[in-house]
Amino acid sequence: MKVIPSICPYCGCGCALTFKIKDSEIEVLHNPEDEVSKGKPCVKGLTCAEPIFVERIKNPMIRRSKQAKFKEVSWTEALEFIRKEIEKYSGEEIAITGSGELTNEDNYVIQKFARTVLHTNNIDTTARLCHAPTLYALYQSFGITTSPNFLEDIGECDCVLLVGTNPRSNYPVAFNRLMDAKYKRGAKIISVQTIFNLTSEYSDLAICLKPNTEVALFNCILNYLIEFDLIEEKVKRIENFERLKQTVSSYTLERTSYICGLEKEILQRICEMIGSAEKFGIMHGMGLTQHIFGVENVLSLLNLAIAKNAYLLSLRGKVNIQGAGDMGCFPNLQDFWSKEDINRLQQLWGVELPKRIGKTLTETFISDPVKFYYIIAMDPAKSLPYLNEVHRNLNRMFIVLQHHYTTYTMKFANVLLPSCSLLEKEGTITNAEGRVRYVRRVISPLHSSMQDWKILVSLAQLLEVEKIFPYEEEIDIFEEITEVIPSYRHLRAKEIYSGFDGFTQKAPKFFRFNPVEFRGFEETTDRKFNFMLITARQPYHFCTGEATLRSKTLKKFLDKGFCYLNPFDARDLGILDGDLIELESRAGKLKAQVKIDPRVTQGIVVAPFFDDELLVNKLIPLSFDPHTKTPNYKNVAVRIRKLSKRK
Report the interface residues with ligand SF4, using CB under 6 A: 8, 10-11, 13-15, 37, 41-42, 44-45, 171-173
What is the closest distance, in whole angstroms, from the C-beta atom of residue 10 to ligand SF4 in the complex? 4
512-533 b/e with 16+ CB inside 10 Å = b?
bbbbbebeeebbeeeeebebbb
Q: How many residues does the chain have?
A: 647
Cβ proximity to ligand SF4: between 414 and 551 the closer is: 551
Cβ proximity to ligand SF4: between 8 and 570 the closer is: 8
Cβ proximity to ligand SF4: between 147 and 566 the closer is: 147
What is the closest distance, in whole angstroms, from the C-beta atom of residue 433 to ligand SF4 in the complex? 12
Q: Are strands 604-607 and 589-596 parallel, antiparallel or unpaired?
A: unpaired
Q: Are 580 and 556 spatial neighbours (Cβ–Cβ below 8 Å)?
A: no
Phi–psi pair at 265, nearest 5 degrees: -65, -40
Cβ proximity to ligand SF4: between 173 and 459 the closer is: 173
What is the closest distance, in whole angstroms, from the C-beta atom of residue 154 to ligand SF4 in the complex? 14
d(CA 60, CA 2) in angstroms, rounded, equals: 30
Task: Specify the amino acid at residue 127.
Answer: A
Cβ proximity to ligand SF4: between 537 and 634 the closer is: 537
Q: Are strands 589-596 and 580-585 parallel, antiparallel or unpaired?
A: antiparallel
Cβ proximity to ligand SF4: between 34 and 625 the closer is: 34
User: How far, in Å, are 109, 117, 374 from residue 425 at the CA level?
Assistant: 15, 24, 21
Cβ proximity to ligand SF4: between 171 and 633 the closer is: 171
Residue-by-residue DSSP string for 109-153: HHHHHHHHTS----EE-GGGGTTHHHHHHHHHHHS-SS-SS-HHH
What is the closest distance, in whole angstroms, from the C-beta atom of residue 536 to ligand SF4 in the complex? 16
What is the closest distance, in whole angstroms, from the C-beta atom of residue 502 to ligand SF4 in the complex? 18
Cβ proximity to ligand SF4: between 91 and 172 the closer is: 172
Task: Specify the amino acid at residue 528.
Answer: K
What is the closest distance, in whole angstroms, from the C-beta atom of residue 32 to ligand SF4 in the complex? 14
Cβ proximity to ligand SF4: between 513 and 609 the closer is: 609
Q: Are 118 and 126 spatial neighbours (Cβ–Cβ below 8 Å)?
A: no
d(CA 63, CA 65) in angstroms, rounded, equals: 6
Nearest residue to the partner ligand SF4, using Cβ:
45
What is the closest distance, in whole angstroms, from the C-beta atom of residue 24 to ligand SF4 in the complex? 23
How far is C-alpha 267 from the geometric centre of its chain's CA atoms? Answer: 30
What is the closest distance, in whole angstroms, from the C-beta atom of residue 30 to ligand SF4 in the complex? 9
Cβ proximity to ligand SF4: between 44 and 131 the closer is: 44
- Classified as helix, coil or strand, 342 is helix
Strand order across the 2-7 sheet: 2-7, 16-22, 25-30
What is the closest distance, in whole angstroms, from the C-beta atom of residue 190 to ligand SF4 in the complex? 22
User: How far, in Å, are 124, 222, 531, 586, 632 from residue 526 at the CA level?
Assistant: 35, 33, 9, 11, 18
d(CA 111, CA 502) in angstroms, rounded, equals: 23
What is the closest distance, in whole angstroms, from the C-beta atom of residue 423 to ligand SF4 in the complex? 12
Cβ proximity to ligand SF4: between 132 and 319 the closer is: 319
What is the closest distance, in whole angstroms, from the C-beta atom of residue 170 to ligand SF4 in the complex? 8
546-563 b/e with 16+ CB inside 10 Å = b?
bbbbbbeebbeebeebbb
- CB-based burial label for 223 (10 Å; 0-12, 13-18, 19+): buried
